[in-house]
A and B are shown apart, each in its own frame.
Chain A
Amino acid sequence: MLSKIRESGNSWKNGTVKNITFIVTKDCQLACKYCYLVGKNTKERMTWKVAKKAIDYVLEREDEFREESVIWDFIGGEPFLEIDLIDKICDYLKTEMFRRNHHWFNSYRFSFSTNGINYHTKKVQHFIEKNHKHLSIGITIDGTKRKHDLNRIWKTPEMELGIQPKPEDEKGSYDQVVKNIPLWLQQFPDASTKVTISSADLPYIKESVLHLYSLGIKEVNINCVFEDVWKEGDDILFENQLTELADAIIEQRLFESHSCSFFMEHIGKPLSRERDNQNWCGAGLMLAIDAKGNFYPCLRFAQYSLRNKPAWIIGNVKDGIDQNKLRPFLTLDRTTQSKQECIDCEVASGCAWCQGENYDAADTHTVYQRSTAICKMHKARVRANNYYWNKLFRKLKLEGRREEFEKQKSKVKNPIC
């Protein structure tokens, strides 16, 4: 049935949600090679005192945090390493939102991005049972074993001393993660996973997306890293992989029940300077809090996320938010931060950027210099995406179902990371 054609990007209450991120720990069991969190460590763990202060700060200011709903986001490192703290935070949040008769009570979610390693543990499962109705949990599994294990390797004690293991000594985490997928999908049948593509992963994109579908994951959100890591020829390899993936999805009719965020009908079109001038990224609308009690416009502005620049701290739990430091984010638009080449680009729609990466890669201390490291990969994606939709539309037309599809397709908004 065409009503089953699935598109990704429909997030919970999109547009009226405050996203508040607790960076509960900067530690992780893994040392993924593409991870943008370059300053992970075992020392910076959030205390209950800091978490409580942050919660009280936010809930006391209902007039300032007026969004209809809230996503309390827990991130690391690996957030489930701090399950005791998280459980305490969530209990306190529920109690306080109720006690204060806060408008977010019954309009909240607890959200997690986890590596999945501790998912089955008693404490995590007890937490899931307690909060299931309000939970969104994404387990990151990168695809086939060989692709997953290429990047998502176990951290060794030597790594903390700056000593990298030899390639032959690296140990991938696929086996420990994949065994938790059935439990996860049983508890969250509509769950999606987030796949990250770096240069080394490119040959494995097709097999990985299809593998994730075969595991029962229906929605695969996938993106290339924003950092400047792309080599000569990577765009061609990428385009070929996506074209092969497009063929497989269409031939196996997977488009009826599964989605892959690489294929979106609206991408690859020119954008109007005036009408399509909105910023891509939601940095500044979010609030991230770290173990020191510092506030950030998004976790990508915390020091552990930055290679070259100092942290962009907008306040702390004691002194509150310095609204001046949010002003650059809240007035950002697409054209002011873009080069002329991007403004004039004929395939501009869907070309993403990360404000944190823009800041980190910028020549000066600014969020107004858009990094274009991803340009050739976006163009390759657009070519494969055009191929996908032309092929799919032709197939549907031949089957007499194109019109029905056109009527039923949903409007997909830019995802806010």
Chain B
Amino acid sequence: MLTYLIILLDDTSTSYCHYEVNRKKRNLISIEDLKAGIIWAMKENLNVQFVYPDYELPSEYLKIIDSLDHTDIKLFRNGKYADVVVLNGWGDDVPEGATCIIRCCRKELTEHIPVVNNWLKRLTRLNVVLTDVETFKDSDISNYSDTLSSLGKNIATLYASGHTPQLNLLTDRLMLSEMNNCGAGDTSVTLASNGKFYLCPAFYYADEKDCIGDLHSGLDIKNQQLLRLDHAPICRQCDAFQCRRCVWMNQKLTMDVNTPSHQQCVVAHLERNASRELLIKLEKLGVRISNSQPIEEMNELDPFNIVNRWK
């Protein structure tokens, strides 16, 4: 069920997910489209998330945005008071109690484990978005596992001391009993600065022609069932519940929105398995996670090998 509308206020709005924003030229959404988008969201009963560019918006825009309950996603330097803060880099002095996103490659994450550990002391939640999932190789499994394991040790210590920050890669799976993924085109759609709808910002930046409707004619999502879990043969039987299940990466790497790549599956399973290790550690330390269920031991890192109907 559609629940969220993401509004890209400008072509240079910050990325908060796997996609890159390579556009330098400002292209602010028209005030008419912004108003129409907000009214459409209100009528459809959607929660609105505004994604900001790295410059101050005109006051009339801020006034319109403030006319409804919403979530702001902003880059750190403008994001002191944002609901979701996208960090610029590892040097940022993160706001106390905030929910932050850091976009980075695996190598950077490994090199900055101490920084993440420090951030987690201050933050309510940190989302790590890996920007190089698609280049993940089976030879990277060991390194990424070690990185997750190291982060898990720190989280266990924090939890044992009574501080319970969330790190998406490791703690989401502890609290989930079913898939909780991105939901592009299923639970959320994006309104871009050109006044057209897209499955998510990534589809807009990849190809502006790939729209799913506009503010005048409404939504027209072809094959929308393929964006749902029940129409994804690999994902629907998978228990890496924290996986982003990024349909944009699916389209890019496997050419079908309902089919994840080997890379996405393996990365998600390494996170799942590291979450399992963390859960066992926490149990040993006497820390209870409410509603958490045991995570079964699993050697297969790619559920495709289970689902493949022709092996």
Contacts and interface: CB of A to CB of B under 8 A. Distances in A.
B264 to A, nearest CB: 9
A328 interface: yes
A363 interface: yes
Given A328-B255, A331-B234, A364 B223 contact: yes
Contacts, number: 69
B259 interface: yes
Interface of A: 278-279, 284-285, 312, 323-325, 327-328, 330-333, 336, 362-369
Given A333-B233, A364-B257, A327 B226 contact: no
Contacts of A285: 310
Interface in B242-268: 251, 253-263
Contacts of B253: 324-325
B249 to A, nearest CB: 10
Contacts of A336: 231, 233, 258
Size category of the binding interface on chain B? 20 to 34
Interface string B198-240: 0000000000000000000000001100100001011000000
B310 A328 contact: no
A168 B29 CA distance: 60
A366 B309 contact: no
A328 B231 contact: no
Contacts of B261: 324, 327
Can you list the 7 inter-chain pairs with the closest CB atoms, starting with the nearest? A363-B222, A328-B256, A331-B233, A328-B259, A324-B261, A364-B223, A324-B253
Contacts of A331: 233-234, 259, 304, 307-309
Contacts of A328: 254-256, 258-259
A368 B223 contact: yes
Please indicate which of the listed interface residues B256, B257, B307 has the most CB atoms of chain A within 10 Å of its own CB.
Answer: B256
Contact of B223 (A327, A330, A363): A363
Given A365-B255, A368-B256, A369-B223, A330 B231 contact: no
B112 to A, nearest CB: 29
A330 B256 CA distance: 12
Contacts of A312: 255
Contacts of A368: 223, 226, 231, 256, 258
Nearest to B304: A327
